[in-house]
Amino acid sequence: MNVLNKYIALEVLKGAFITQIVLLTLFNLFTFTDELKHLGEGNYRLKEILYYVLLTSPGVFYELLPASALLGSLFVLGSMGNNRELIAMRAAGLSVFGIIKAVMLAGCVLVMIALIVGEFIAPTAQRMAHISRVSAQNTQINVSAEYGLWLREGKKFINIKQVVGDGSLADLVIYEFDDDLHIHKAIHVDQAIYLGNQEWQMNNIVASEISIQQMTSSYEETQIWKSSIAPNLLKIVAILPNNLSMYDLAGYVKFLKKNNQKSHLYEAAFWGRIVNPLVTFIMLLLATPFVIGIKRGVSVGERMMLGVLIGMGFNIIDKTVGHLGLIYGLSPPLMAFAPSIAVLLIALFYLKRIQS
């Protein structure tokens, strides 16, 4: 039976990867076409667009893996069913559970690949893609993933470490230079909130006056800062959930809660990352009863259409539940796991019907 299990697992992996390549190519073409609308904005040329598409590919790969697992397994197991291979295997003593075990073995490999890509490759690549796109389209700003966002306003150089989704700023330093480009003042601000009319409210300000003779320091709890910097410019470099790994998401959620800021979006993204491997297993588990339960004469096209409908239906339900959770402030873990658990129960129900 080990030979049969290995054969099924390898075929499912082969089918999943072929499907992944096709889907990834299609999605990259869509991304490339969409980015062409911004061609010529600043220094955003064809080279930058291709670089952006390349860097976003790992994130797309990670997102598409559950759908690829479903479609690939439906295609492979369906072909085995049409060629009477599954009948021969079951006649040789391989049970439905044995087939599921082999498919889940392939799922373990896919999940390990997904975790490596999703945690170590995709977040860094997404961050680099976002930085390169923003820097090319907006030549007046300089973004660094390690050192934050740098802006210049007259003789002031502003370093912003955190840009929150609502446009407010955290942990920023303003360096002021004189006519000879000598630094004479450095101001550290814990938080800056936009009030409108080019005014920011700065909180917890430590200012250091620098001269040849001495350096003095002063503290103010709050101060109004007049600046032409607008929140709509800063929002484009705000930290996005898909730019962060699970570890970084957990740290950022902690940071937002500590500063009494909204963290629901990032909590939902964190729990979505946790549930993603489970979704891959569920998609593979769901494919097995449908293949075994469908008559042998059903064509590959019909099976693939069934897989597309299942995948799209799950994705729509999952996104809808997630958005409802954000709107009504529902528990992020519950909203992340509810659709997957519902589909898992459906898959187990069909498996029980086939075995009975």
Q: At what angle do helices 332-355 and 300-328 cross, to 10 degrees?
A: 150
What are the tokens at 65?
């893996």
Q: Whole-model pTM above 0.85?
A: no
Q: What pLDDT score does 248 carry?
A: 83
- What's the rounded mean pLDDT across residues 282-306? 70
Q: What pLDDT score does 236 carry?
A: 56
Domain boundary among 211, 235, 259: 235
Q: What pLDDT score does 160 carry?
A: 84
Nearest alpha-carbon partner for 163 in 181, 178, 143, 184: 143
Query: What's the mean per-residue pLDDT of the chain?
Result: 84
The reply to whether 250 and 342 lie within a common domain is yes
Domain boundary among 235, 258, 290: 235
Q: How many CB atoms lie within 10 A of CB 235?
A: 13
**Contact (Cβ atoms closer than 8 angstroms) between residue 283 and residue 70:** yes
As for how many domains the chain has, the answer is 2
For 79-106, letters b (16+ CB in 10 Å) and e give bbbbeebbeebeeeebeeebbbebbbbb
Q: What pLDDT score does 188 carry?
A: 93
The reply to whether 291 and 224 lie within a common domain is no
Q: What pLDDT score does 135 carry?
A: 74
Measure the CA–CA gap between 72 and 37, rounded to whole angstroms.
Answer: 33
Q: Where are the alpha helices (DSSP H) in 237-330?
A: 246-258, 264-293, 300-328
The reply to whether 124 and 265 lie within a common domain is yes
Assess whether pLDDT exceeds 90 at residue 293.
no
**Contact (Cβ atoms closer than 8 angstroms) between residue 183 and residue 209:** no
Domain holding 202, by residue range, is 146-235
Assess whether pLDDT exceeds 50 at residue 98.
yes
The reply to whether 161 and 87 lie within a common domain is no
- What's the rounded mean pLDDT across residues 249-268? 79
The reply to whether 103 and 215 lie within a common domain is no
- pLDDT higher at 321 or 302: 321
- What's the rounded mean pLDDT across residues 122-151? 73
pLDDT tens track for 150-208: 777 778 888 887 777 666 888 899 999 888 778 889 999 999 988 888 889 999 999 99
- What's the rounded mean pLDDT across residues 208-214? 84
Measure the CA–CA gap between 353 and 167, rounded to whole angstroms.
Answer: 53
Q: What pLDDT score does 145 carry?
A: 47
| Predicted confidence band of residue 12 (pLDDT cuts 50, 70, 90) | very high
The reply to whether 123 and 256 lie within a common domain is yes
Q: What pLDDT score does 147 carry?
A: 54
pLDDT tens track for 37-92: 989 888 889 999 999 999 999 999 999 999 899 888 888 888 887 788 887 888 88
Domain boundary among 213, 235, 257: 235
Measure the CA–CA gap between 29 and 20, rounded to whole angstroms.
Answer: 14
The reply to whether 47 and 115 lie within a common domain is yes
